[in-house]
Structure 1
Amino acid sequence: MDPMQVFDRRLVRLRRDRAAATVGRVAPILDAAAERLLDRLDDTTRRFTRALDLGGRGVVAPRLAARGIPFVVSADLSAAMARGAGGLPVAADEEFLPFAPESFDLVVASLSLHWVNDLPGALIQIRRALRPDGLFLASLPGLGTLQPLRDALAEAEATLRGGISPRISPFPELRDGAGLLQRAGFALPVADGEEMPVAYRTPLALFSDLRAGGEANAVLARDPRPPPRALFPMAAASLPQGPEGILPGLRLIVLTGWAPHEGQQKPARPGSATHRLSDALGTTEHRAGDRAGG
């Protein structure tokens, strides 16, 4: 097996095809994530005219149109999901984007890049599809997301079978976000994290939402055998519950990057400062090794 291939992309597409009819059940979660992400647009005075909604599942494109963006394309690995996404529909693999260079001045990927095998390659293609000084905004689940469910399933499967199989997708770490953007050639890269509060009254509601959103297991290394009948009930019984119910943990990594442009702000050249920090702070500057005491 190719170590670079973590996910079964055909299975991801099939799951999203099926989820096109049920994704409305998880619209509140998708809405909340999209709203948090698109709030970042309020931090810039730039006005956008051509936007790509990448995997927005019906909640991103309408928000972009409501912001006055006249041309919005909705691309999705699933043609059925793209048709219901709200923009001009295009069935497209995130790993092989079919768009010409400099096609858009804004690309938004809300909770849609975590099933991509070659994330650095996908980011390079997104950057190429942006016009100079175009903006890329993305959110994806980060390390720690669904950790209680991951632990519960592992413990239950170890008890029932004496071993474990990957049943929850691996998620990236926040510290890798800005580096990925830099490797892809984005300017002014920023990665930050957000906790998104989500609670479920029952484990079955959590399992149902994962299926409804097309988020069921598609890891290539998964056990191909049918799971033991007792696996999910046993895992559900061990999920920790608080006053608000089951907290699956949804930790978002938010990525912001710009396609390079000569007019963008650039870091100062080392040694080019014209003012001392001590003057700005009103303090006395001491050489290394000198004592600062009186």
Structure 2
Amino acid sequence: MTPMFDARQIRRAFGRAAHSYAGAADLQREVEAWLLESLMYLDDSVPATVVDLGSGPGRAAAAMQARWPKARVLALDLALPMLRQAQPRRGWLRALGGRRAVLPICADAAALPLADASVDVLFSNLCLQWVEDLPAALAGFRRVLRPGGLLLCSSFGHDTLHELRAAFAEADRAPHVSPFATIAQFGDALMQAGFRDPVLEREPMRRGYPDLAALMRELRALGATNALAGRRRSLTGRARFARAAAAYEPLRDADGRLPATWEVITAMAWAPAPGAPIRERGTEIASFPADRIPLRKRR
């Protein structure tokens, strides 16, 4: 089966964007703030282990370490340069004033190098749109969360950059914008993975740009370049870019700016009790702690 994404391209793009990401990530920081506010649902409970998945420069990981100084906070990202960019942050590599250090780990969201039932809070901000098999990734999240553990995540939804997708479709047959899951698909994937009490919200956000080139520069600064396996491997070329820009032009708003839509999906869900099944490839698989399996002794 041909993969949808080129994983090496994703890693390279975010690695190159390590130095520019912080200056371009206004929307990402806004959504991150929404998710951090949702931690209030934990009340006064203090988690032992917290994971910031797709941590980028580690802002959320640092915020959660400050919130829970005694917790073990892991910052996971696919791009090692992103983790290195975060290292100078206070408290990132060494504990200060009794605070534990955030632990950086270079890892793939689709293959978490974490033990079963070892995480209390799994936080992921705008990372899951780069995961090819969303149900499998969420099943992995469920695997590492302890029963009753909290999943708090966000992703871009189906309508994201639909203007850009349509403009390039007028200029080129090759794909230029990744497909994004609908909120229904996201909810189905959570249920399939066995999460309980999921709460999903959808928030369309719009940004304006002076021209197509400015939008493309921002996407490159964020690392959000075309990483589709079926993308054109040569440069887009001036003629194709000009055709895309011409197709985008009629969308200019009253302020004279080109609109770009970002559909943000946020989700909160809880890991179920031991024994709740995970559905994988049409089969329900359940796991139990060994000490919960009843034994019958022969007389």
Aligned to 1:241: 252
Whether the 8 Å contact between 2:170 and 2:243 is mirrored in structure 1 is no
Find out whether 1:65 has 2:65 as its counterpart: yes
Give % identity: 36
Please say which of residues 95-104 and 232-241 is displaced more in the overlay.
Answer: 232-241
How far is the alpha carbon of 1:48 from its aligned partner?
2.8
Whether the 8 Å contact between 1:136 and 1:258 is mirrored in structure 2 is yes
Q: Using the alignment, how far apart are the partners of 2:39 and 2:206 within structure 1?
A: 22
Q: Using the alignment, how far apart are the partners of 2:33 and 2:193 within structure 1?
A: 26
Q: Using the alignment, how far apart are the partners of 1:197 and 1:67 within structure 2?
A: 31
Distance 1:243 1:72, change over 3 A: farther
Deviations 1:181-219 (A, max 9, x none): 111121112222112232223322211111111110010
Q: What is the count of residue pairs matched by the alignment?
A: 254
Aligned to 1:25: 23
Aligned to 1:55: 54
Whether the 8 Å contact between 1:55 and 1:82 is mirrored in structure 2 is no
Aligned to 1:231: 240
Aligned to 1:165: 174
Whether the 8 Å contact between 1:202 and 1:246 is mirrored in structure 2 is yes
Whether the 8 Å contact between 1:25 and 1:209 is mirrored in structure 2 is no
Aligned to 1:161: none
Deviations 1:1-57 (A, max 9, x none): x14x21011111111111112112223222111012222222442443421011132
How far is the alpha carbon of 1:223 from its aligned partner?
2.2
Find out whether 1:36 has 2:34 as its counterpart: yes
Aligned to 1:106: 121
Correspondences of 1:138-149 after superposition (within 5 Å): 138-149=153-164
Q: Using the alignment, how far apart are the partners of 1:176 and 1:53 within structure 2?
A: 23
Q: Which has the larger radius of gyration?
A: 1
Please say which of residues 98-107 and 66-75 is displaced more in the overlay.
Answer: 66-75
Whether the 8 Å contact between 1:53 and 1:72 is mirrored in structure 2 is yes
Aligned to 2:277: none
Match of 1:210 among 219, 241, 251: 219
TM-score relative to the length of structure 1: 0.81
Give, as a single letter, the amino acid of the residue that structure 2 aligns with 1:10: R
Give, as a single letter, the amino acid of the residue that structure 2 aligns with 1:68: W
Q: Using the alignment, how far apart are the partners of 1:71 and 1:233 within structure 2?
A: 50
Give, as a single letter, the amino acid of the residue that structure 2 aligns with 1:166: P
Q: Using the alignment, how far apart are the partners of 2:41 and 2:56 within structure 1?
A: 24
Give, as a single letter, the amino acid of the residue that structure 2 aligns with 1:250: W
Aligned to 2:187: 178
Whether the 8 Å contact between 1:56 and 1:111 is mirrored in structure 2 is no
Aligned to 1:256: 268
Give, as a single letter, the amino acid of the residue that structure 2 aligns with 1:152: A
Q: Using the alignment, how far apart are the partners of 1:39 and 1:134 within structure 2?
A: 17
> Alignment partner of 1:226: what SS?
coil
Correspondences of 1:178-197 after superposition (within 5 Å): 178-197=187-206
How far is the alpha carbon of 1:102 from its aligned partner?
2.0
TM-score relative to the length of structure 2: 0.79
Whether the 8 Å contact between 1:50 and 1:103 is mirrored in structure 2 is yes
Correspondences of 1:76-155 after superposition (within 5 Å): 76-85=77-86, 87-155=102-170
Unmatched 5+ stretches in structure 1: 158-163, 263-294
Q: Using the alignment, how far apart are the partners of 1:26 and 1:144 within structure 2?
A: 21
